[in-house]
Amino acid sequence: MIPNKQTETLLADRPSPETIAAWRQDFPILGREVNGKPLIYLDNGASSQKPRAVINRLEHYYAHEHANIHRGVHVLSQEATGAYEAARETVARYLNAAEARECIFTRGATEAINLVASSWGGANLQAGDEVLLTVMEHHANIVPWQMLETRLGIKLVVAPISDEGELLVEEWEKLISPRTKLAAFCHASNSLGTVNPAKAMIAKAHAKGVPVLLDGAQSSAHMKIDVRDLDCDWFVCSGHKIFGPTGIGVLYGKAALLGAMPPYQGGGDMIDVVSFSGTTFRGLPERFEAGTPNIAGAIGLAAAFDYLDSIGHEAIAAQEQDLLAYATAQLQQIEGLTIYGRAAEKVSLISFMIDGLHPNDIGTMLDMDGIAVRTGHHCTMPLWERFGLTGTTRASFAFYNTREEIDALITSLNKIRRLFLG
């Protein structure tokens, strides 16, 4: 990325080495070795590591508070219920939702999108209706809509991007027609890093009466999310990418919209009265949380949000933008290396190819040096088709990564180049 005014300001506020070292102490896994080398974890876009605060909270919950929620009169059940609902309050505060009941716990971003597609889409879309996507979407924001294409006969319309990996917003806007019933797009691309101008896009869609689902799976670990400021109708994210547990995610939806959506799954806890002559459903949020939820996951996710608040979003952004600028400059020095995704605004990840080298070979060789990166299509096959590729190598940084780790990545890449290409 070419540093712009915004990143120049951030770089000036770069956290001190002592601060970064203290952050790293919070993540026990960063102290381990892989293949006899200190672990260098650059696969944060796939899943981030867990701070002691989250690990301890999970341990405390299972050691002292666990029972099933919402149904027990006994103390443990009430304590677990209290902790679970307190977690919802934390999530709502973190996302700046107007009310906690607007935050539904799901298994992750994927399930949250499927919930909206199945429930809202099933009730509101019909043959000929259009859903506007972009070519940079993760499969999780393509396939659920494609399933509705098969089921209902809706049409998917796909907005293009530039060679730099930026959404062509004017083209996107032109694709909104009277048939468009929904726009769904990523806040940040997991393959290119591109940050889409979500707030402006949402305003444009709303001006044409089109609701918006914003996929925040890649943005939520990197920036302060304010769903009310964005004015998105739905927002989805995954706990495991935000330093929280796996198997937990959030669907935020405006209360009026969510409240009008039919249940997604049926079962315990989401009902008012069940009889064989008919069943009535509870209100928000219970109607979308059938069965025993991931209680520990929700509590752990709240601990992750509290932890991130203690670090501070400005400090996180300053460190990550520094890593992005530093790594971009260093990678560009490597002969034959091409970076895919050169948007003016990016989250801290870099997709690249090296002439003559297959991403899988690069990933395997980096692993021998203890460096974990992602290789392959990153669940964005249509995006790579756009670039005439089948995938890339992707290094994705969190605030606990360091410039020294990027130096090690560069050294290792140069070594791999020499080994394979002479």
Catalytic residues: 379
**Residue of 108, 144, 285, 297 that binds ligand PLP (CB under 6 A):** 108
Q: Under rule CB under 6 A, how many of the chain's residues touch ligand PLP?
A: 13
Could you say whether residue 186 binds ligand PLP (CB under 6 A)?
yes
Q: Is 293 left (phi over 0), alpha (psi -120 to 50) or beta?
A: beta
Q: Which is nearer to ligand PLP, 133 or 311 (CB)?
A: 133
Of residues 238, 328, 375, 393, which one binds ligand PLP by CB under 6 A? 238
Cβ proximity to ligand PLP: between 119 and 141 the closer is 141
Stretch that binds ligand PLP, among 18-26, 105-113, 223-231, 350-358 (CB under 6 A): 105-113
Q: Are the C-beta atoms of 300 and 244 separated by less than 8 Å?
A: yes
- Residue 87 three-state SS: helix
The footprint of ligand PLP on residues 353-382 (CB under 6 A) is 379
Cis peptide before 285 (omega within 30 of 0): yes
Task: Confirm or reject binding of residue 109 to ligand PLP (CB under 6 A).
Answer: yes
Ramachandran sector of residue 143 (left: φ over 0; alpha: ψ -120 to 50; beta: rest):
alpha
Site string for ligand PLP, 121-160 (x = CB under 6 A): -----------------x-xx-------------------
215 makes contact with ligand PLP (CB under 6 A): yes
> Least distance in Å: CB of 379 to ligand PLP?
6
| HSE toward the beta carbon, residue 286, CA cutoff 13 A | 15
Q: What share of the chain is helix, strand, coil (3-state, %, to 5)?
A: 45, 20, 35
Q: How far is the CB of 209 from ligand PLP (least distance, A)?
A: 26
* Between 147 and 255, CB nearer to ligand PLP: 147
Q: Which residues contact 388 (CB under 8 A, 6 or more apart)?
A: none
The phi, psi pair for 350, rounded to 5°, reads -135, 125
Tokens of 8: 């120049």
Contacting positions for ligand PLP (CB under 6 A): 108-110, 138, 140-141, 186, 190, 215, 217-218, 238, 379
